[in-house]
């Protein structure tokens, strides 16, 4: 069986990041912390069934928006909770449901209904209203997106 695992390069914070993410996502699992003496070299953990590996490899590379993690949410409460937790401690909001956490990793916190709302139900006018509404937001708000879809 083939697997694809996100491999995240940290300066020295792989274990801290793993613990942070595990505190946010339900059913997270810490799989391994690999050390060389008293120094953490790598960590392996699972969030929502997806395995991640974090490597402490120095300050040579930084995260940027070219790679982000897309988290689909069913409810506004889920969006609000994840948004608040992921920007805590030094993260920053961006536009259209994007944010950076305190480690500089980009996340997209998105309602699962967004794709169908953005399609406008085949109506380009509806689709444009939803897109314009989304582009004006930082954290996405389902009720505002639905209101735009419905022309309210």
- Cα radius of gyration (the chain): 18
Binned at pLDDT 50, 70 and 90, residue 122 comes out as: very high
pLDDT for the residue numbered 145: 98
pLDDT of 33 reads 98
Residue 43 shares a structural domain with residue 83:
no
Q: Are residues 55 and 67 in the same domain?
A: no
SS3 state at 112: coil
pLDDT band at 144 (very low <50, low <70, confident <90, very high): very high
Residue that is last in its domain, among 27, 44, 59:
59
Would you place residue 61 in the very low, low, confident or very high pLDDT band (cuts 50, 70, 90)?
A: very high
Beta-carbon neighbour count of residue 10 at 10 Å?
A: 25
Residue with tokens 């920007």: 87
Q: How many domains is the chain partitioned into structurally?
A: 2
Domain end (from 14, 41, 59): 59
**Is this model's pTM higher than 0.85 or not?**
yes
Helix (H) or strand (E) holding 136: none
pLDDT of residue 134: 98
For residue 72, give the nearest of 48, 92, 101 by alpha carbon: 48
Name the residue range of residue 6's domain. 1-59
Residues 132, 147 within the same domain: yes
* Overall average pLDDT of the 87-111 stretch: 98
Same domain, 109 and 139: yes
Which domain-ending residue is among 59, 78, 96? 59
Q: Which CATH number covers residue 47?
A: 3.10.180.10
Return mean pLDDT, the chain.
Answer: 97
pLDDT, mean of residues 89-107: 98
């Amino acid at each position: 069986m083939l697997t694809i695992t996100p491999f995240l390069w940290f300066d020295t914070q792989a274990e801290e990041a793993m613990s942070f993410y595990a505190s946010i996502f339900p059913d997270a699992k810490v799989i391994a912390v690999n050390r060389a003496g008293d120094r953490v070299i790598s960590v392996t953990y699972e969030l929502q069934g997806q395995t991640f590996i974090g490597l402490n490899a120095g300050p040579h590379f930084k995260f940027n928006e070219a790679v982000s993690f897309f988290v689909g949410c069913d409810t506004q409460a889920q969006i609000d909770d994840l948004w608040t937790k992921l920007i805590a401690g030094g993260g920053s909001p961006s536009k259209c449901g994007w944010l950076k956490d305190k480690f500089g990793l980009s996340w997209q916190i998105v309602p699962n209904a967004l794709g169908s709302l953005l399609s406008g139900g085949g109506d380009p006018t509806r689709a444009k209203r939803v897109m314009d509404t989304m582009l004006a937001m930082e954290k996405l708000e389902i009720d505002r997106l639905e209101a735009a879809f419905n022309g309210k």
